[in-house]
Structure 1
Amino acid sequence: MRDSMIKRRTMLGMGLALAMGLAPAFDAAQAQTKELVVFAAASMKNALDEAAANWVKESGKPAPKISYAASNTLAKQIESGAPADIFISADLDWMDYAASKNLIKPETRVSLLGNKIVLVAAKDSTAKVELKPGVDLAAALGSNRLAMGNVDSVPAGKYGKAALEKLGAWDKVKDKIAQADNVRAALLLVSRGEAPFGIVYATDAAADPQVKVVAAFPEGSHPPIVYPVAATKDSTNPDAAAFLTYLRGPAAKPVFEKQGFTVLNKPASAS
């Protein structure tokens, strides 16, 4: 029975990703095109779609092909030869992984954005949860599950687990987790009413009118959330440098801030 449940959750995660237009796997046909290909964390979809559209209007360049998925999935795809020109990760770990495998051009790497994680519920929920040390989130869940990205690999899931451990809530909820393949899939579980609560980025909560923020996790309860960006080692597309410059520039800043990101735009090297 456990195997069947795991298979069902895996299929659900893939279905949710497809429903949201995310790209859990790269298309080999992309290797035959000269268009700019960007691999970006799923939580960036709304902001990056708008920024890319603005860049196309301002530059006259062809629209980039953007594939969204969990950062771990994207890093592994690039390692397997996926034809990406730019990689944007939702955490430092997976960009560090790409750097360790010589998959990026280190001189192009920048810590572009910051974010926060929040606890969300359906928009009509009356639930109240105070995220402080000793919080009994398991009691609030009852017999239901908490939607999160995979806690071992998806950045939002790792941040969420770290925060719950810091608050002393993890041991009681660890058997009540509905783990998703990426943070947007976790968000959709709450939006569709399949989970009463979810841990997502603040930017995800802002992007879905069917959910509301119940509480924000305290600063210091998890590592800082940083989105690094870099050109890939094998990219030869001349538009990659131009698009990276645009994302770091003043025109993109209000787009990111409107979606709830903090613009960092700091050069960074792998740790």
Structure 2
Amino acid sequence: MYRLPRLCLALITAFAATSAAWAGEITVFAAASLKDALDDIAATYQAQTGDTVRVSLAGSSTLARQIEQGAPADIFISAHPGWMDRLEQAGLIAPDSRVDLLGNALVLIAHGHRAPPLRIGPDMALAMRLGEGRLAMALVDAVPAGIYGKAALEHLGQWPAVADRVVQAENVRAALALVSLGEAPFGIVYRSDAVADAAVTVVGTFPAESHPPIIYPAAAVADRDNPLNRAFLAYLRGDAAGAAFQRHGFDLLD
């Protein structure tokens, strides 16, 4: 059997160890609506840098509470400023790292490809359109998409008629899945969620004035000495990540 000279073997081993030492790892806690965009961005970032990006997705409220309990997140991207505010007030994020990264739109979706459009307004009679079905939404008192959705329905005078017809999901992607699978005829999600699923149709977009501005703040978690934090946040604001976010239905704010 051919054997490498000991010097060559030692050099190869040293090089492999050095390369491994150069590669880093970063853990990103992000709102569930960011899944497809962050899948693309993480893959591109890893290919360019050799660093590993681990993304944990859930409702912003769930992630914020996990960070409060000491979960090992390096970066937090929320779908609502309120949950980022809560962590900042508790001293759990680095305030000088915080940036308003993205915007989005709130849409009404229907199951299937040929659902007729519905003019979104005070006279849209959503309860009548539901028939015997349910309206899928993320948790209306905790998850940002649900909070925005409830605010929009209240603004338009629709909430009293549909409140007892709402099926609440743990995050916006779970609400999307209910409509995609036909378990609910309609749902309220972000535009970016609708872009990600060919089994649903956007039948209307809620007016921006019907709900608080949809803003996704991003920040580094405090007391996490990860040297990749600043670099990854900068990458999220760069051209490559920006193009990916726009491709998946987000608006760039910064």
Q: Does 1:177 find its partner at 2:143?
A: no
Q: Does 1:56 align with 2:42?
A: no
Separation (CA, whole Å) in 1 of partners of 2:115 and 2:202:
11
State which of 29, 37, 56 in structure 2 corresponds to 1:47: 37
Pairing of 1:1-271 with structure 2 (within 5 A): 35-61=25-51, 63-265=52-254
Give the partner amino acid of 1:35.
E
Return the alpha-carbon distance in structure 1 between the equivalents of residues 81 and 72 of structure 2: 21
- Give me the whole-angstrom Cα distance separating, in 2, the residues matched to 1:238 and 1:163: 41
Decide which moves more: 85-94 or 126-135: 126-135
SS at match of 1:64: strand
How far the C-alpha of 1:52 sits from its partner, in A, is 1.1
TM score, norm. by length of structure 2: 0.89
Tell me the secondary structure at the aligned position of residue 67 of structure 2. Answer: helix
State the aligned residue count.
231
With normalisation by structure 1, the TM-score equals: 0.83
1:218 Cα shift?
Answer: 1.1
Question: Among the aligned pairs, what percent are the same residue?
Answer: 56
**4+ residue runs over 6 A deviation:** none
CA contact (8 A) 2:115 2:203 kept: no
Unaligned runs of 5+ in 1: 1-33, 266-271
- Post-superposition Cα deviations, 1:46-77, rounded to whole Å, max 9, x if no partner, equal 0011111111112222x211100000000000
RMSD (Å), alpha carbons: 1.1
SS of the residue corresponding to residue 58 of structure 1 reads helix
- In structure 2, distance between residues paired with 1:160 and 1:126: 20
* Counterpart Cα distance in 2 of 1:186 and 1:234: 34
